[in-house]
Amino acid sequence: MMERKVVEHCSPTLAGIKCGSLFKYSDRMGASEEVRRLNGLLNPRGISVRIIYSCACRDLVLVYRENKIMERLSSPEISGLLHLMGYDCCDIHSCLTRLTEKMNSGGTIPPEIGIFLGYPLEDVLGFMEYGGRYSKTMGCWKVYGDEECAVRTFAKYKKCRDIFLKKYEAGSSITKLAVPV
């Protein structure tokens, strides 16, 4: 069921400490219905769910907080970079449509997706410059900048996931876990 995957892979986004999370979902037959159902539950909490890539065997699902992504897009460095890549940073929906188009046309994940997932800009730029090679460390993403900060963030995300999964498995609903922000 998609709901458990959201809790497992998107807890930091549900908690409001991360702007977006991504996970693979292999039950393609029910994915669109599950996305609609989850949006009905999570939209009142400021969280949206969107399929950003589809192929014969799986979907990639983005769970995000629109307000947190818009905060990131208001940064001149981030909006400037995305503008060079064909994004209209004035509108979150057109940005996500552009990201979805790039995902589905190239068959690869564009490196700027890190911006929508809350990765530090210097790590996104490092990944773009070095093609995924020469990172200092790797956890939720490849780190090219502040390694100590990233390792602390990885630990915070893991702790959040562990707590949320424990609560979910004990019977807490996803709406109860989703922090309104």
Q: What is the mean pLDDT of residues 36-63?
A: 95
Average pLDDT, the chain: 95
Helix axes 121-130, 76-84, angle to 10 degrees: 30
Straight-line distance from the first to the last Cα atom of the chain, in angstroms, rounded to the nearest whole number = 25
With respect to residue 127, please indicate whether it lies within any of the assigned structural domains: yes
Residue 83 has pLDDT above 90, yes or no: yes
DSSP of 62-86, one letter per residue?
EEE-HHHHHHHHTSHHHHHHHHHTT
With respect to residue 124, please indicate whether it lies within any of the assigned structural domains: yes
Q: Structurally, how many domains does the chain consist of? A: 1
For 51-79, the pLDDT digits (tens) are 999 888 889 999 999 999 999 999 999 99
Domain that holds residue 138: 119-148
The whole-model pTM stands at 0.95
SS3 of the chain: helix, strand, coil, percent, to 5: 55, 15, 30
In this prediction, residue 122 carries a pLDDT of: 98
CA distance 95 to 83: 10
